[in-house]
Structure 1
Amino acid sequence: MLANAPAPTKTKINSLQTNNLETLKRNKRENSNKDVLEYSAPVFGRPRMYYTITPNTFEEIIFWKLNNNLDNFIFKFENKFYSDAKLNDARIGGGHIRKNAETIWNNWSRIYDFWQNTGKRNKIKIVTVSNFGSSLQNIESIELFEENSFIENKYLEKLWTDFNSDLPKEYIYIDLGVIEDKNDNFILNKLKEKYPKLNISYFEVFEKKDYSFFDKSFSTKFKIKSNDELIYPIQTLNYKFTFITKKWLNEDLPKLIDNENLIQNWKSNFINWQNEINRQINEDLSKYGNDERGRALKRTWKGNNINEIKNKLLSLNHILETIDSKFKLNEVYNKVQNLEKDINELKSQINKLNQKISEIQNSLNKNENLENCANIAGTISASTGWIPYIGTLISTVSGTVASICTVINA
């Protein structure tokens, strides 16, 4: 009867092949996400155990180890591999796994360091070997299993997700912006503000550094620490997080600017010049008299000093350009909102002041009546009074305006 049975049709054969292929693929997917434990005991040689461990399981092993309880570690390790792993040999028993758990515990630094230098998205293979005449075992080798085959690490992926995918595979700086001060709580709160999904109770500030012009900011790293539950990989993040403190902006940055040699020299020269102008007004100009010759001398005196003020403003503008370049070089503008706008506004006011001075020069040349200088001073003062962090420059510009008024009204 079997001999007379009809042969399967081509359609049925294709269907069977498709089903078999799908089964193979499904089994491969299932096996790729499972830990595998193999055993070999050659007639001449030492028995070996081969642990192929998924990233998820290895993150759990780290969590158990950091609880610092050997008995608990052995219990969890045995339960994980004896109950959940794929065992390729019926001779593998709980006793073998318990011994291996203790071997891994005793060689933890070597194993953990290897894992930290991987991408944490590969299986790793650990081979243990028995010692003749002893119950002790050694770690024979640790290596990546299928180096170019990446599989899920749900703890790492949650970390990346909670960081809004800002954590790349390569080392970079991540900017946290401006915070109150470099206190750990301020830093952690800023981290939470930037990444609201993060559970910052798992984060610890690490390697905090003061402001440096090399890094263009303060900086810190973060450790992810062990907690009640495993949700992130327990590790030190190899990313430098940078920030600027409000204290640095409000106290230290103005001092840096005020103490610039260029500014100090300009201010010193300006004050000496201003004192000399005041002396000439009080002691010399009255001697010129009010006749035609005296008025001509006064106009010449005004013209000369107006030119001098223009030169001083040109010099001040060059200093501002230097500071501007330094800020750009050190990326301060990236950290401080509106600072570049404020610097540009101050330079703009200096240009406007120069335009006013040119108008005064034209009026002097034409022997016309001069406009009210108080209006100039009020305009400049109102426009620059709100600029933060650079009080010295504001005061010097205001002083320049006041000197112009003194010269014009002399």
Structure 2
Amino acid sequence: MPAAAPTTREHGGDRPTADPARRPLRAHLRAGGPALLAVALFLCVRAFSLAALAVRAAATDKSPRVLLSERWDSLWYARVAEHGYDFTVNAPDGRSLSSMAFFPLLPWLERGTRTVTGLSLPAAGLLVGALSSALAAWAVFLVVRHSYGDRAGVVCVVLWAAVPVGIVQSMAYSEALFTALAACGLLCALRERWMTAGILASLAGLTRPVGLAVTAALFLAVWLHHRAGAGGSRDRIRAVLGCLVAPVGAVAYILWVGARRGRLLGYLDVQDEWGNGFDGGWAFARFLTGGSAALAVLALLGMLLLAYWPHHIGAKQHQPPPLIAYSALVTLLAVGASGYFGSKPRLLLPAFPLLIPLAVLLARRRPALTWSALTTLTVASAVYGAYWLTGSGPP
């Protein structure tokens, strides 16, 4: 009797399918349909948000292009791309603000894009951001699908696109690039592709210091994998190498800044000059309560509870521990930083696993209810983003 043909199982289904290597092209396209749908819906949300921004900018006599690529941090990234790290600004209060506060991967990509395309640096930043956000949407879908199926993956991508500060995904900022690298790295960790996960974690660390959260998630994934006794000697070697590579990006840049500043942890001095530090959220709580210490304690406890809830629900939904560890660290570093308080929402943008519990809940509801909720959130996000960016906006 001939041996049965090798089969695989699609996620969430019970029907065996043909060996993926033998599928025709149309079958591959059909299999990738939900991912394409997720990215297409993401782009629709982004287009709607940009249209709302254009309307609001016209009403306030402002340029959408300037708002998206030539203000706040986007200016600093362009300065690094143009001048390297020999650029400082003397603030009115006497502080010396160094460009070394900004990690190098986004400026490198902006400079490379300008060289290849001939675009200006602000336009190159927008292009890098647009491509990164689309890649991030694709990776977020795959991460969520890994545990919860196609529908939850699509819903989570739309939720991520429609968060109140989602307009940042279309700016020349590093959030979209970081989320793309982080989500791809997490996906590789969940699929036990240790070396690729390590390289992506290292690149995430060259993008933002919170890239070390991806490294921590990889360490946890490797530990859980080998505690279960899975994998052979070659797998262990790849896992160790991936873990060694993962922190290299962030650590190398921090040490380079330290060498430039003449002190091992000179990067902390740079952050201190910008008014950034870590106090566990105490300064943020006092800001929210007008400086009252008693109310600040209550506010801090409330923030801890709010941060705990989605992780608790995620654990009950059997969310993979590396995702919980990653989002918990991103949340901790965003809320616990003592810097500019208006930046907190956008610093939470890469913590997409926080949205998974809601995505799973909506994915189990009737389609009419699900899409009505997502449409409402999209409209609210577009309006909020348009007013926010033409007002105080991100720092």
Instruction: Compute the TM-score of the two structures, normalised by the length of structure 2.
Output: 0.22
Greater strand fraction, Structure 1 or Structure 2: 1
Instruction: Compute the TM-score of the two structures, normalised by the length of structure 1.
Output: 0.21
Asked which structure has the greater RCO (Cα within 8 Å, sep 6+), the reply is 2
Greater helix fraction, Structure 1 or Structure 2: 2
